[in-house]
Structure 1
Amino acid sequence: MAQRLELGMISSAWFDTSVGLEEGIRRAREIGFDSYDIFEDPLDIDDATRRLIKQTCREVGLPIRSVVCVNFGLVDFNPSVERFAMDRARAYIDQGAYFGARNLLLVIGEYYWDGEVFPYEAIWGFAVDRVRRLGDYAAEKGLEIVIELEPFSQALVRDVDELARFIREVGHPAVKANADISHLHLSGASFEDVGKLRGIIGHIHLSDCDGKKHGDLPAGRGVTPIKDYLKAIIDTGYSGTVSIELEYSPDPDRIVEWVEEAYRETSRIMSELGVREEARA
């Protein structure tokens, strides 16, 4: 029998909708999610808000597994920006530790100036060194860092080979990969390519897309072969959380239905693969 996986969602699904922070947590648990990922920036919220998040998740029985950080400054060449970017990343790690999370989901940035001022190798080197140092800090706090593959032309880590290479070069036991299923599809990864991440996957994001551009759609709304990618990930031995990523719903007034649909369809796929019980009615 295949290993069981948790089904979670990222709090950003509720952004720019009428569903507030506390209500979003309660709704997620009512819908049936097993866990929750927090997108809120630690520099934009206060201690009272952090306590509310933690207490509400604890009250409804929804553990926090990941905190999500987009941090392009990690590859900036200016020392002042580097200091800020590193301090901000550490603040996310501290927030994750407070929440009892397992990992910091980190988006590390893009190449710039077409590699003509700073060569691509130098920009890559900035990222490797800084993530390695963040790995030390995360390990001290009991967390891992998971690196996101971004399927865009200037992204540092834009396909499976670059993701695997990056993790190898960082060479830190607390730094792993985030396997984002729609990003795998948009980057042109084959199901066999997923095997290159064997032993280094620390988290999964799941959404659908139209096969051409980033979409964050509920499963079944696009053309991503989600079930096949998820099976390939399971075949690497991964055991952990699958987090649904939904952002910028085309109809914010119906966001609850959007999230319910994503939960239902993803849970169905997971149950067909034998890693989750059937979704609630």
Structure 2
Amino acid sequence: MPPEHPSCHDEIFPHVRPWTARNWPIAAAMIQYPAILPDGSSVQDQKAEGWAATLAEVRRAGFNELDPTDCWLRVADLSVSRRLEFLSVCADLGLSIPAISTSRRSVIDPDPEKADASLAYIHRVIDTAAEIGAREIAVGFAAALSEAQRKALWFWTAPGHCDPADPQVWRKAVSRIRELADHAQSVGVVLSLEMYEDTYLGSADSAVRFINDVDHPACGINADIGNLVRLHRPMEHWRDMMVKLAPYLRYWHVKNYLRTEDATTGMIVTAPAPMEQGVISYRAAIAMALEHGYASPFLVEHYGGDGLSVAALNRDYIRRILPL
């Protein structure tokens, strides 16, 4: 489906691809690191030496770019002096921050106080991103994990929050994202809306409808279709999703899953996999995005096991398949 507003599309995407395979920014996610340390203290309050010890692992895995990912550290909620400490640690290790991802900070959370707090928080993230030179941020409508999800081996196999089929809530979501996009544009930052099951970006069709309703040049789609193909339910084929999504992509979370569907019994089983081994062909998916002018960083993710090492494999795979 082509963009409804070509002029907005032209503003979102530069006409010249800014990087090569060698220097395309591919950031490490911090989802494999907990926000609470073994002694019960918070990473938020950790000394700079503690941050450095963790980020040294990221650097040793071969990463030059980092997404601090706020399920690990809320950079936007650090004091100015502490934020400078964190940036100094990153600089000493040779890590840049091309983008910041927020996690489970829905501006339409069922709890109105949480929704308002998330809106205020994302405004702080936008200002922080501009301050530190991170030009893109990822936001979405995922809510906190349910009790069943917290107990499950893989949280996506248990039921969680669903955005309501309520036109008034949809309009509120559109209005709040447009408000954030206005702010982002004013400071030179772009929003990327993360696809996630049972939210207003829980399918390709809904995501495209939503982004067209927002209709803002500083807002695109984070086509994290791994969040969808991992579900134990019937799902649109990844290629069909990408055909619809490719014209709208911004900062992109990428990961892959094995997926087996038994047509006889209806059983569906999935498990995390390195990008080149899962059911999504990222060689094809990235080529489709590039054809539509994709010019944003990637974020490599992996759940389970040594997520950092698999993310490093994913980074190297992307560099092999990007144009030279």
Return the TM-score normalized by structure 1.
0.78
Partner of 2:245: 197
Partner of 2:153: none
With 221-230 and 165-174 compared, the bigger mean Cα shift is at: 221-230
Give the whole-Å Cα distance in 2 for the aligned partners of 1:73 and 1:261. Answer: 28
1:167 aligns with 2:211: yes
Tell me by how many angstroms 1:238 deviates: 0.9
SS state of the match for residue 258, structure 2?
Answer: coil
Give the whole-Å Cα distance in 1 for the aligned partners of 2:85 and 2:229. Answer: 36
Tell me by how many angstroms 1:264 deviates: 2.6
SS state of the match for residue 33, structure 1?
Answer: coil
With 207-216 and 34-43 compared, the bigger mean Cα shift is at: 207-216
Asked if the contact 2:300–2:311 (Cα under 8 Å) also holds between the matched residues in 1, the reply is yes
1:133 aligns with 2:166: no
SS state of the match for residue 104, structure 1?
Answer: strand
Asked if the contact 2:163–2:200 (Cα under 8 Å) also holds between the matched residues in 1, the reply is no
Tell me by how many angstroms 1:143 deviates: 0.8
1:236 aligns with 2:308: no
Give the whole-Å Cα distance in 2 for the aligned partners of 1:242 and 1:192. Answer: 21
1:50 to 69, 79, 83: 83
SS state of the match for residue 75, structure 1?
Answer: coil
Aligned residue-pair number: 263
In structure 2, stretches of 5+ residues that fail to align are 1-16, 44-49, 144-159, 260-267
1:180 aligns with 2:206: no
Name the % identity: 21
Give the whole-Å Cα distance in 2 for the aligned partners of 1:28 and 1:104. Answer: 20
Partner of 2:29: 10
Structure 1 residue identity aligned to 2:62 = G
SS state of the match for residue 13, structure 1?
Answer: coil
Q: Deviations over 1:116-138 (max 9, x none)?
A: xxx52222111100000011111
1:34 aligns with 2:53: no
Distance 1:185 1:78, change over 3 A: closer
Give the whole-Å Cα distance in 1 for the aligned partners of 2:190 and 2:299. Answer: 16
SS state of the match for residue 162, structure 1?
Answer: helix
1:121 to 147, 167, 180: 167
Give the whole-Å Cα distance in 1 for the aligned partners of 2:279 and 2:98. Answer: 28
Q: Deviations over 1:63-91 (max 9, x none)?
A: 21221113454114776444322211112
Asked if the contact 2:106–2:140 (Cα under 8 Å) also holds between the matched residues in 1, the reply is no
Q: Deviations over 1:6-44 (max 9, x none)?
A: 322112233368895323333323322232112122476
1:227 aligns with 2:271: no
Give the whole-Å Cα distance in 2 for the aligned partners of 1:3 and 1:43. Answer: 30
Tell me by how many angstroms 1:184 deviates: 5.5
Distance 1:173 1:262, change over 3 A: same
Distance 1:216 1:205, change over 3 A: farther
Give the whole-Å Cα distance in 2 for the aligned partners of 1:231 and 1:75. Answer: 34
**Superposition pairs for residues 135-150 of structure 1, below 5 Å?**
135-150=181-196
1:66 to 96, 99, 103: 99
In structure 1, stretches of 5+ residues that fail to align are 277-281
Asked if the contact 1:68–1:105 (Cα under 8 Å) also holds between the matched residues in 2, the reply is yes
SS state of the match for residue 285, structure 2?
Answer: helix
Asked if the contact 2:223–2:253 (Cα under 8 Å) also holds between the matched residues in 1, the reply is yes
Structure 1 residue identity aligned to 2:189 = L
Distance 1:197 1:59, change over 3 A: same
Structure 2 residue identity aligned to 1:61 = G
Structure 1 residue identity aligned to 2:58 = A
Return the TM-score normalized by structure 2.
0.69
Asked if the contact 1:208–1:219 (Cα under 8 Å) also holds between the matched residues in 2, the reply is yes
Give the whole-Å Cα distance in 1 for the aligned partners of 2:228 and 2:292. Answer: 15
Give the whole-Å Cα distance in 2 for the aligned partners of 1:75 and 1:82. Answer: 5
Give the whole-Å Cα distance in 2 for the aligned partners of 1:77 and 1:262. Answer: 33
Asked if the contact 1:71–1:108 (Cα under 8 Å) also holds between the matched residues in 2, the reply is yes
Give the whole-Å Cα distance in 1 for the aligned partners of 2:107 and 2:269. Answer: 25
Give the whole-Å Cα distance in 1 for the aligned partners of 2:189 and 2:271. Answer: 29
Structure 2 residue identity aligned to 1:180 = D
